[in-house]
Amino acid sequence: MKADIEIIEAVKSGHRAAFSELVIRYQRPLLRLVMRFSKDQSVAEDIVQDSFIKAYKKLHTFEGRSSFKSWLFQIGVNTAKNKLRDKSSDFMNIEDVHLGVAGNLDSNLMHQDLSEMIRSEVDRLPDKQRTALKLRIFEDLSFKEIAKIMDCPYDTAKANYRHALMKLKERVERNKQLKTWSEKEMSHFFEVRGRLVEVEQ
């Protein structure tokens, strides 16, 4: 399999058809990302198509300072924001997160409770915090990649993510039903996809 940079250099050299390899390689990941922002698949597919068109037209500006994936995702996120800016109803609730819970708790109830809280609270997050959270948790991107996609300093990307997590933690702590959780049980709230997310107090 050719490296992204090889394909990009081929396209820049005049082999335009080579760009289709990048489309095939990143179409599904980009669609998955865009679906975090739009609940309408047809709209998401249009955004993905527009993003690839923009990427193709701007490919001559790609210098390889970041990965092509990060560069493409940045275009995708910006395209999604522009298209959905005036359509707040099109923003989807974040998908359910599979959370670990202590064995002595009713897992089904906890999953339902936490999922509802997460959806509600994420919808209230400022745009930058919501974006950083989705890119970090659900796309498993590094803060360096998130900073590139969001076009902001590394520390800003990390701060937006951490602030988002803190707000989720506060939401849990305000819930009467969950106030009896032990510190250990509370930590499970931040165990997402097999890794424990530590939140600074």
pLDDT tier at 176, thresholds 50, 70, 90: low
What are the extents of the domains in the chain? 4-90, 107-196
pLDDT of residue 52: 95
CATH fold of the domain at 4-90:
Rna Polymerase Sigma Factor; Chain: A (1.10.1740)
Q: From residue 77, how far is each of 38, 72, 101 by CA, in Å? A: 11, 9, 33
Cα 1 off chain centre by: 26
DSSP 82-117: HHHTT-GGGPPPPPPP-B---TTS-HHHHHHHHHHH
How far is the C-alpha of 30 from the C-alpha of 154, rounded, in Å?
22
Higher pLDDT, 175 or 179: 175
How far is the C-alpha of 148 from the C-alpha of 143, rounded, in Å?
8
Is 106's pLDDT higher than 80?
no
How far is the C-alpha of 17 from the C-alpha of 96, rounded, in Å?
39
Q: Report yes or no: 189 and 114 within 8 Å, Cβ to Cβ.
A: yes
Bridge partners, 136 (sequence order) = none
pLDDT of residue 12: 92
What pLDDT digit, counting tens, does each position of 72-93 carry? Answer: 999 999 998 888 775 654 444 3
pTM assigned to the model: 0.62
What pLDDT digit, counting tens, does each position of 153-169 carry? Answer: 999 999 999 998 888 77
Is 111's pLDDT higher than 60?
no
pLDDT of residue 117: 60
pLDDT of residue 76: 92
Average pLDDT value over all residues in the chain: 75
How far is the C-alpha of 84 from the C-alpha of 55, rounded, in Å?
19
What pLDDT digit, counting tens, does each position of 134-147 carry? Answer: 888 878 889 999 99
Mean pLDDT of 11-25: 92
Largest CA distance in the chain: 64
Architecture, CATH, for domain 107-196: Orthogonal Bundle (1.10)
